[in-house]
Structure 1
Amino acid sequence: MNRSMITASVTMGQLQNQLDTIANNIANSNTDGFKRRDVQFSSLLAQEINNQPNQDAEIGRLTPEGIRLGSGARVAGTVLRLEQGGIIETGRSLDLALLNPNILFQVQKTLENGDEIVEYTREGSFYLTPVDGNPERLQLTASNGDLVMGENGPIEIPSDFTSISVSGEGLVEVTLADQTTVNAGQLSLVEVIQPQLLESAGENRYRVSETADLNEVIGQPEANGNFIQQGSLEQSNVNLAQEMTQLMTTQRSYQMNARSIKMADQMMGLVNSIR
């Protein structure tokens, strides 16, 4: 196959990955707490073709010898961008917006085989569901029912509460019908040290890569920090204008590579037609 066709076809496959990433960013532009991803490219290995048979003519040459032809480009990785999104007030006591871009909530997910794993999210729209076997207790959960983790396990409160207060550092307090205040626990927050080692787990959540050391990726936030704004939600950090510009640029690159394949095919057709 023509070398230019190989280079273009390889690059087109990688550009499709970038188009998929941009499409995912745009699709989640209205998802609370969503963080966009950027695609990074790197060149594939280049092959050097030596076209000078007379090495005596190369004496004193200052530029590299031969002709270097690349084999296209590949996606080196997608980078999670944790820039802060806009904050909107909802007035709902269980809507919690994180104010530090590197802070995440911890959510306990139960797999189909019964195993429990920890996932991380920026989405702070939480709910209260009854504790199994104890209707007088409610537990703080995500929208799909997964438990929101506190420093001493899931956050539970009495079912006869009248109001909930969450401090900036994540302390949950509830006011009961008799106007007494009860400490329901401390939300377990983590600070991301190396965002590039977080993998998307679906449902706007992340997990630490199996090949990474947990302590190198996740740390503990500083004490007494102001990390949470109650009654608010963080919006997506997707910039639609920027994503659309990137989309058009990637489409033009895809079309250019497709055009080069067509031109190479036409040239080979002309050569084959010569008798």
Structure 2
Amino acid sequence: MRALYSAATGMMAQELNVQVISNNIANMRTTGYKRQQAHFQDLLYQTLRRAGSATSAADTRAPAAVEIGSGVKAVSTARTMTQGNLTPTERDFDIAIRGEGFFRIEMPDGSTAFTRDGGFDLDAQGRIVTKDGFLLAPGIEVPQDATSVSISASGLVEASVAGNQPQQIGQIGLVRFVNKAGLESVGDNLFRETAASGAPIEGDPTADGFGSLQQGFLEEANVNAVTEISELIAAQRAYEMNSRVISAADQMLQSANQMFRG
């Protein structure tokens, strides 16, 4: 029976939905994480009678079709790229983006990745790097005798050295994308450019279309616990209903089999 296969696709779809929700909940405390949401589409239909087909010799027409669907399929687990709350950390190299934009990260293999996680540190050479040691681009090196570092909203980095005026040591830039939801997640709070996202558009913080930087803050995940629990309950109920359809279809097949034997 078609109902068995349709309900089976529904159960698989809700299993995927629960996996997406569980990943969102697991990353509630991940800096710069953007929640995912599963989207679905119906599968192909078998048309038993087309709308508008002739129903008599008098040229009457069927006002509606008779179509039987074959279930559901997952089409995307798109990310919601809304702004997360900013939390103060009082660390000089924690930088949050307020508004649009991503930090540009130079990977060890020479490729470029992008992130909203502004939790940076210094490496042994005094360069600003991610928690995994990946270089924030463009490379900014802090003098070893610097007593403090200030980062303006526009990305200007200045270092203070005892007995001297603050000196500019670099400029943090941002990139944005026409379709930021089309970025590929590669783990470690990093994204990569895809054909869907479009090429990165570079600019400075506070410039037109770009957000500003806030030193001493980090962006929280944009995951709402109440929303995720509500979505989880709805997914569980949908899964249960599809399992009941399978049970009902099985009972109908069993009854038909008994009638055939009789």
Q: TM-score w.r.t. structure 1 length?
A: 0.86
- Alignment gaps of 5+ in structure 2: none
**Shift in alpha-carbon separation, 1:265–1:224, aligned structure 2, 3 A:** closer
**Shift in alpha-carbon separation, 1:76–1:58, aligned structure 2, 3 A:** farther
Asked whether 1:164 is paired with 2:149, we answer yes
Shift of 1:241: 0.3
Paired letter, 1:14: A
> Aligned residue for 1:130?
124
Paired letter, 1:13: M
**Shift in alpha-carbon separation, 1:57–1:167, aligned structure 2, 3 A:** farther
Bigger proportion of residues as strand: 1
List per-residue Cα deviations over 1:110-161 (Å, max 9, x = no partner).
2xxxx22111111111000113xxxxxx1100011111112xxx11121111
Query: Is the CA contact 2:55–2:61 (under 8 Å) kept in the aligned structure 1?
Result: no
Matches within 5 A, 1:36-115: 36-50=35-49, 55-56=55-56, 59-61=59-61, 63-65=63-65, 67-100=66-99, 102-110=100-108, 115=109
> Aligned residue for 2:11?
12
Asked whether 1:26 is paired with 2:11, we answer no
Tell me the C-alpha RMSD between the 2 structures. 2.1
List per-residue Cα deviations over 1:193-250 (Å, max 9, x = no partner).
20231011101211112x44742xx223466446101111111110110111011101
CA distance in structure 2 between the partners assigned to 1:77 and 1:58 by the alignment: 48
- Alignment gaps of 5+ in structure 1: 132-137
**Shift in alpha-carbon separation, 1:243–1:213, aligned structure 2, 3 A:** closer
CA distance in structure 2 between the partners assigned to 1:35 and 1:54 by the alignment: 53
Paired letter, 1:116: G
CA distance in structure 2 between the partners assigned to 1:54 and 1:166 by the alignment: 74
CA distance in structure 1 between the partners assigned to 2:11 and 2:112 by the alignment: 37
Paired letter, 1:145: G
Asked whether 1:253 is paired with 2:238, we answer yes
CA distance in structure 2 between the partners assigned to 1:159 and 1:33 by the alignment: 29
> Aligned residue for 1:116?
110
**Shift in alpha-carbon separation, 1:179–1:77, aligned structure 2, 3 A:** same
Matches within 5 A, 1:147-158: 147-150=135-138, 154-158=139-143
CA distance in structure 1 between the partners assigned to 2:181 and 2:58 by the alignment: 46
**Shift in alpha-carbon separation, 1:41–1:57, aligned structure 2, 3 A:** farther
CA distance in structure 2 between the partners assigned to 1:9 and 1:55 by the alignment: 35
CA distance in structure 1 between the partners assigned to 2:58 and 2:247 by the alignment: 37
Paired letter, 1:219: I
Matches within 5 A, 1:126-275: 126-131=120-125, 138-150=126-138, 154-209=139-194, 211-212=195-196, 214-215=198-199, 218-221=200-203, 224-225=206-207, 227-274=212-259, 275=262
**Shift in alpha-carbon separation, 1:143–1:39, aligned structure 2, 3 A:** same
- Of all paired residues, the percent bearing the same amino acid is 33
Query: Is the CA contact 2:94–2:216 (under 8 Å) kept in the aligned structure 1?
Result: yes
CA distance in structure 2 between the partners assigned to 1:82 and 1:224 by the alignment: 19
Paired letter, 1:106: R
1:157 partner SS: coil
Q: How many residues align?
A: 255
**Shift in alpha-carbon separation, 1:258–1:89, aligned structure 2, 3 A:** same
**Shift in alpha-carbon separation, 1:75–1:86, aligned structure 2, 3 A:** same
CA distance in structure 2 between the partners assigned to 1:213 and 1:236 by the alignment: 21
Q: TM-score w.r.t. structure 2 length?
A: 0.90
Query: Is the CA contact 2:155–2:205 (under 8 Å) kept in the aligned structure 1?
Result: no
